[in-house]
Structure 1
């Protein structure tokens, strides 16, 4: 999924709720999105998840319990999210975060259906 760094809406407040594994973002138009860490992780804009071109997205399984360790500003256009599974290469532009919020129900349903179709689990494998 290509990212645009020309955001139509800018965050006015970002709150990491570590215990709930939720990132809340309030945008300048009054819209607030609540992003579960798992959703952000499986929709990471990194090449590891999205690939290098259309149709190359990788389905990320076993991340139901993933949390967010830290948020790191990237210029004035994005944030890097550091997850506790050590994934930290995705740069979430404001426009991408807004899009993820708008399409959260649709994206999440597609993810669950793809996981089921491939026989994968949201739960991490037991050791």
Structure 2
């Protein structure tokens, strides 16, 4: 039943997502997106990196939770258009496999504070940091 609710919620979100009207890469620090309903979001490189839609995004599994950490200073090097529905971002940690759709940008923007709060809480729970590890 929970799975069905998630599918319905996901479908409703997609069906109601406004049209993207502006995409601006502010390399290396952020992406700005604007939608037809007037919503505007500035999404940091760190935020986009930790919420990469890629399956393989250098994730560490801790107690069954997948956690990306140490990406506070990651930068975006480029954005490659993918059809008319999204972009592939290339980060300076060489991650480049995630395709960010316009719908996903809207989801990330409209849920930014909740998602970041959850991310920081997860890091604290596992004794991890947003700061990169020091090289030895």
Give the structure-1-normalised TM-score: 0.85
Higher helix share goes to which structure? 2
2: distance between equivalents of 1:26 and 1:83?
Answer: 22
1:64-108 deviation digits (Å, cap 9, x = unpaired): 000100011111111111111100100111111100001100000
Structure 2: state its 5+ residue gaps. 1-5
1:15-39 deviation digits (Å, cap 9, x = unpaired): 12225x0110011221101101000
With a CA cutoff of 8 Å and minimum separation of 6, indicate the structure with the bigger relative contact order.
1
State yes or no: 1:121 paired with 2:109: no
Aligned to 2:3: none
Contact 1:46–1:89, Cα closer than 8 Å, also in 2: yes
Q: Which has the larger radius of gyration?
A: 2
Structure 1: state its 5+ residue gaps. none
1: distance between equivalents of 2:23 and 2:46?
Answer: 17
Which of 3, 23, 29 lines up with 1:14 in the alignment?
A: 23
Which runs of at least 4 in structure 1 moved beyond 4 Å after TM superposition? 1-7
Give the structure-2-normalised TM-score: 0.80
User: CA-atom RMSD, angstroms?
Assistant: 2.3
